Every structure is written in structure tokens, then in C-alpha cells.
A and B are shown apart, each in its own frame.
Chain A
Amino acid sequence: MSVNKIAPTLVAAAVATVLAAGSVQAANEASAAGTAKAAPPALAPLGEAPIPPDNKSTPDKVELGKMLFFDPRVGGDASTGCSTCHEPDQGWAWAEDFSRGYPGTVHWRNSQSIINSAYFPRQFWAGSASSNEKQAKAAAKGGVAGNGEDDIMEARMAVIPEYRERFKKVFGTEWPLIDDVWLAISAFERTMNTTGKYEVPLDKYLKGDKSALDEQQVRGMALFNGKAGCINCHNGSLATDLDYHNIGIPPNKRWEEDGLAQVTFRFEQYAKGQTEEGYRAAKSDWGFYYRSKNKWDRGKFRTAPLRYIEYTAPYMHNGVFYTLEEVVDFYNAGGVDEEGRTTLFPENKSKLIKPLGLSDEEKEDLVAFLGAFSGPEITMEKPKQPPYAPLFTKAELEAAQEEK
């Protein structure tokens, strides 16, 4: 894993040198001429979401998945389901720095939007889940997320007659199985994309509709691809290289002031397999390190995809920035916030992150361009929760009693 992780960074660094000299255009030419290994792939329109062969989509499965996504009974105390932290009117995420948690807890990371999640081969801020299916299971069970156990959640499905019927229809089983819950939810998530009528202006533009961006946004795009160097990481059709970088995000100060957040902070060190020394010493989220256990991965996170961000503030894995202006200021300062704070692992900070020298007008242009990553808001009426009902009649129970 780690070997893969170093290589792209090195390549990107080489590219950055070229970029400093000119534009993406130049970089592309340079790479064509063989002087640089590869330029970052240019931004491209979002294609169709991939659908894995072992979880084919059907309208009934998607409908069932939608009901389950909105049903808090997929969780420990029947209060906290997927949509609880992925609220449609909060960008299908949660509009606080740290996500709300399971009752009695707070989360320690920002809630990511589920919009376009289907495109990511590795999910979560540090990529710890390898599919929507695995992600959903982890979310429903996590101690500060759904806190549900398989057996009780599966049992609950059985005493909800409408689910029993729908699972039978979709999966052909006599009783609902918990793993099929994750399949159905994933099938639903794979329909929640910025495609079709939710296509974002940037994609329209890239497909040839030059009226989709205004002049300011076009100037911002040039900066994104050139002087500001965003394209080094936010590239291709997903606006992410799917790699992990430390861009200098400082720890959230809430950990210094909020006892509940301190509880979760330490819990996560355990849950993510820290060493004893790491548990004692950690004062920020070590990100990709928890997966690779290499010290040079501390503070690295997956390059965030940028589509739909207009609706998903606050930003970054710990929600430290509430506006895109703050994000651009942070990058312009070379990965340092307005108080001069940065990552606790400066030795790991990407070489691609350095002061950009953008003027106020350029910053405004860049922010305007970031706006082109979002189209219409995706809304949806929440489905009704199907009711519980007894499985047996009194007469059946009496008959069984007689037979004892």
C-alpha cells in the first residue's frame, strides 16, 4: 500500500515544477515531449457511477435501500440511521465541524456527503472502506455512529412486515438478512449522483456548453489548473487523484475545549488500532497512518472530491473551515490558517502546498470557480417508516402452548 502511496506524490512534485514555469498547457506539452513523466489528468465530466457485478441495481432494490437509508432502526437504539448524519438538507452530510454522533457521543470527523460516493473505490476521509457495502456496515456498527449489532438489526427487519415482503422480493430470502441491508443501501447510494438533471455547471462546460461558466469562473479555472496548482491533486473526472496527502490542516480546537469530543478522540485512537504510545501522545487525527502505520502518512487524507461542496460546509476532515473563502485563504497561505496554525506533522506536508501569491481578485475568481462544482440541490421526500407488527397471532401462540 505504502509503495503506491509514495509514487504518485513524487510524480506530482515533478509536475509541479513544470507548472511553476507555465500553465497546464505547457505541462501537457512537456509531458508529450517526454520531459516530465505525466501531467495530472485534466478535469473531465463525471461519467456514470460504476455498479459492481455482485450488487446489480434494480428499481425495487433501490427503493428498499432508500427506505433503509432513512430508517433509524438500522442502528443500535433505533434513533440514529444513515440519514440522521447525512441529512438531505445539509448536503446529505451534517453541517457542523464534527458530525453529530450516536446519542451520548459526538463524532470526531466531519460527515461526508453521500452524493457521488459511489465513484470512490476507497471511502471515508482516510479511505478505510473499500466499497459502499463495506462502508455502510462500518457506519451502522461504529461505536460513535450507528452503534448497531448485526443480530438485533436483522431481528428488527423480521418484525417489520413490509420489509419482510420487500427483502423477499428483492433478495428471495424467507427472512431479511443483514448483509442484504448493506447491498440495498449501496444500490440506493449509487443513484445519488450529480448526473442527469443534477449535472454541475463545470461538467456542462467541459462537455461543450461554454455558457455554463461565467467569465470570472473561467478565470478561476485557469488559476485552478495553473498558478494555484489545485489540479495537481483535484484532477480527472472525479476531481480527486484518490490519493492521500497532508495539506496542513490544523487540529480542530474543539478538542481542547469540549469534554465529549475528548472522549471520542481517545476512543478513536483505540478503535483505529493505535499503539499505547500513540494513544498517549496523539493530539490530532493521524489520518491515513491508521491504515498504513507508516509515520510519513500521519495527517494524510484522501483528496476531497469537489462536486456538490456548495451544500456541504464545513470543509475538511475535521470541518475547520466554514466557507470556501477560508479554504482558498488557507491554500494561498501555503497550508496555514489565519492564526498561523497548521498540521502537527509539518514534515509530512505535501511539497505541492506552498504560498501561492494570489491577489484578492484571483482568490475571488478561484472561489467563483469552486461554485461551478455544484448544480441544483438534490432533495427528496423522506419515505415513511413501515410499522412493526407481531409475527404470530394469539391463536398460534395458544396452540403452541397446548402442544408443550
Chain B
Amino acid sequence: MVVRVTTGRALLAATLGLGLAAGVQAADSPDIGPLPQLEIDKAKAELGKRLFFDKRLSGDAAISCADCHVPAKGYASEKALSPGYPGNGHFRNASSLVNVAHRKVWNWDGRIGTNLNDMTREMLTEDYIMNMDMRVMQERVKQDPVYVKMFKDAGYGEPSNGSVRKAIPEYMKTLTSKGSPFDAGKMSDSANKGMALFKGKAGCVQCHNGSMMTDGKPHNTGVPENFDVFMDPMNHQAFIAFTMFQGIPNYMNLKRDPGYYNITLMKEDMGKFITPSLRELKYSSPYMHNGMIATLADVVEFYNNGGGKDSNKSDKLKPLGLNDQEKKDLVAFLEALSGDELTGPEHVWDKPFPAKYEAIENWTQVRN
């Protein structure tokens, strides 16, 4: 469970994050461009990779991070709504984790603004995500000789839940875009035209800017609610638990995802979500916080109509009057922001996990 303490920090990070005041002109936005390099500790990242794919990191040892953040889907969920921990559903799409280390705020509503260590803790301990008692997790990890060696080699010493929460973020740093036509400077004519629209007539850059194509801020774009959140009691129970915990008034009768309102409880933040990155979208359909938009062409159509219906919608969104060719060009540009699949063994742990925990030999004689 996240404590509300992170809220203040989330706000702070959102404000400081990319230093953009609301309402600035497209021309003032930080330019879109390649991502900075990250320094990665190989041994730690390798350990993090094994942990990311290990089902023993969930309470009932039934799911791993990768069951919701699916490699072939750009480390997002396969369906519109993420699966939940067994016995539960979920109420949002599992965000893509590609380039996640480049973000400053996390979750669709931006409720974590500190670091990926906190984000990892939230994922591990949240009842409808992995429901892991981290003391059990630590002892499971210690029982596996492969981990004991890997932790040691990574310089962490004895396995601990603290170092699990360091190693997984180190692995997430390796999930970085590479080889996109945009970064390589090899975009098609159509994509180049699309980029011009993106920065100009279509006004996308007002919110999608900087190397991650996000201002890190919350906006209401009027994405329609996904009724499956409420019609499937498994999803709804997770939603109720979440909004109860966030202290949303009247949460039992809530019929929409309140988004950023979770954090501020201010009416003007109802239905706002943090601008997502636009990289690697090729893999991560369907789109938006609740997976309500199936294809990139549909997304462009959505914006061309001035976004969805919501009294609180951002006034940056207006019908765009794009013609069919312009729409195609914009889609071509969005596609050019995707690079290679991150599904090879450098990113995916493909060796089997032990079927059972070996006993520690000579148990009565050795110290725990």
C-alpha cells in the first residue's frame, strides 16, 4: 500500500518535472528528441531481470511482474484492463514499462512521484497486484541458491527485500527504446509530415513534449469510461479497494475513474491523467488508462474530434480539422516512435525457475 505521503512529492515532481507552465505555446515546449543514456550496473540488472519474471514474488506464487507487463506487448497488459492478482481484477491498463526509468511520475494518475523503488514496492505489496508480504518474499529469495549467488555477485550481500526493490528498477532501466526510425533520423516522408502536424496544426506537442513526449502533467482528455471496470465485480472490487484507500468521498457509488483527483481531492482534477509517453506504442495497444481506444488511427480520430466528452476537459483540445492524408501522416509519425521489440534474452529471463525450494543442508547446525 502506498501512503499518502508520496502525494505531496508527486505534486512536487509533477511541477518540477519538466518545468512547463500550463498553457504555453507549442513553440515553447521542450523539443522532442532522443532519450539520454542511462548508466546500468549489469549484475544488478541481471538479478532484477530474474526477479521480474519470477512468480514467487507474489503472495501465492502465481504471478510475476511479466504476467501483467507482457514483453511482447511493450511490457503493457495484453487486454484493455490489466489482470489482477488471483481472485481479483483490475480497473486500469497496465502501463508500458519501456522507458519507464525516464519518467518522473508514475501510474496513470501520477500518484507516485519519488522513484522506481517505491513504485516496485507498491506493485509487490498492493492487494490486487501481487499481494506480497515482503518478509515472506525475502525468505523465499534466500532459499534459492541461484539468488544467493546473484545478490552476492551484484554487491548486495545477503538477499533482502530492500535490495529486491533496488535490483528490479535497475533492470527496468534496460527497458529503453532502441532503433526507432525517429531516433535514427530515418523517418518516411509521411512520418516527417506527421511530425510537423504533431508540433503544429494538431497541437499534440502542447502536452506530449520533451524526449519522452510527455510534460509529466495531468490533463483531462475526455476518454470514455470502460464499463467493464464496473460490470465485472472482480474489477470493481479492486477499484473499490483502491478508491477507499485513496479516501475518495462516496467511493461506493463512484461510476468513473477519478484519475488525478485521487491525489488532490480537488474537483478541477477530476478525470485527469498524466500525459503518457508516446514511444513504443506499436506494441502496447489498446491505448489510454483504461484501454478504451483500440488503434493509433482511432486515437488520432479521437483527437481530431477534439477529444472526448467531459465538462472538465482541457481547453487545449479542439477539433483539429485534419484531412485523411494528415491523419495517416500523424499515425505514421506515431509509428516511427517505435523501435525494436525488447523480447530477446537480454531483456527476458528465459531459463526455468526451480519447481521447489531445496532444503538448506545441515539446517540445525548453520545459522539462519
Contacts and interface: CB of A to CB of B under 8 A. Distances in A.
B255 A262 contact: no
B241 A264 contact: no
A259 B143 contact: yes
Given A390-B231, A400-B256, A404-B311, A259 B360 contact: yes
27 contacts: A78-B86, A78-B88, A102-B59, A104-B56, A143-B135, A144-B136, A148-B127, A151-B241, A151-B244, A151-B245, A155-B236, A155-B237, A155-B240, A155-B244, A158-B252, A262-B359, A262-B360, A263-B140, A267-B133, A283-B364, A389-B233, A390-B231, A390-B236, A391-B236, A394-B227, A401-B309, A404-B312
A339 interface: no
A76 B58 CA distance: 11
Interface string B251-272: 0100110000000000000010
Interface string B82-112: 0001111000000000000000000000000
A260 interface: yes
A363 interface: no
B297 interface: no
B244 A154 contact: yes
B60 A77 contact: yes
A404 B271 contact: yes
A105 interface: yes
B301 interface: no
Nearest to A393: B231
A391 B230 contact: yes
Contacts of A266: 139, 142, 368
A37 to B, nearest CB: 41
Contacts of A171: none
Classify chain B: how many residues form its interface, as a range.
35 or more
Contacts of A401: 224-225, 255-256, 309
A149 interface: yes
Nearest to B252: A175
Contact of B59 (A147, A156, A175): A147
A26 interface: no
Nearest to A392: B230
A279 B368 CA distance: 7
B254 to A, nearest CB: 9
A76 B87 contact: yes
Given A156-B237, A392-B255, A149 B131 contact: yes
A132 B129 CA distance: 30
Interface string A244-258: 000000000001111
Contact of B358 (A155, A259, A388): A259
Counting chain B CB atoms within 10 Å of each CB, the highest count among A154, A174, A263, A282 belongs to: A263
B232 interface: yes
Contacts of A269: 368
A255 B58 CA distance: 23
B139 A267 contact: yes
Given A283-B363, A388-B234, A263 B139 contact: yes
Q: Which of B224, B233, B244, B271 has the most CB of A within 10 A?
A: B233
Interface of B, helix, strand, loop or mixed by DSSP: loop
Interface residues of A, number: 55
B139 A159 contact: no
B60 A79 contact: yes
| A-B CB proximity, top 10 nearest | A259-B357, A78-B87, A104-B61, A143-B133, A400-B255, A103-B60, A155-B240, A159-B233, A388-B233, A77-B87
A158 B238 CA distance: 11
Interface of A: 73, 76-79, 102-105, 143-144, 147-149, 151-152, 154-156, 158-160, 174-175, 255-260, 262-267, 269-271, 279-283, 388-392, 394, 396-397, 400-401, 404
Contact of A104 (B60, B231, B311, B368): B60
Nearest to A261: B359
B153 interface: no
Contacts of A264: 136, 139
Interface string B103-142: 0000000000000000000000001100101011011101
A396 B136 contact: no
Interface string B199-228: 000000000000000000000001011010
A246 B367 CA distance: 24
A347 to B, nearest CB: 18
Contacts of B234: 388
A388 B142 CA distance: 39
B225 A397 contact: yes
B350 interface: no
Contact of B87 (A73, A151, A397): A73
Nearest to B63: A77
B356 interface: yes
A183 B214 CA distance: 50
Contact of B363 (A104, A262, A271): A262
B85 A77 contact: yes
A19 B238 CA distance: 62
Contacts of A260: 356-357
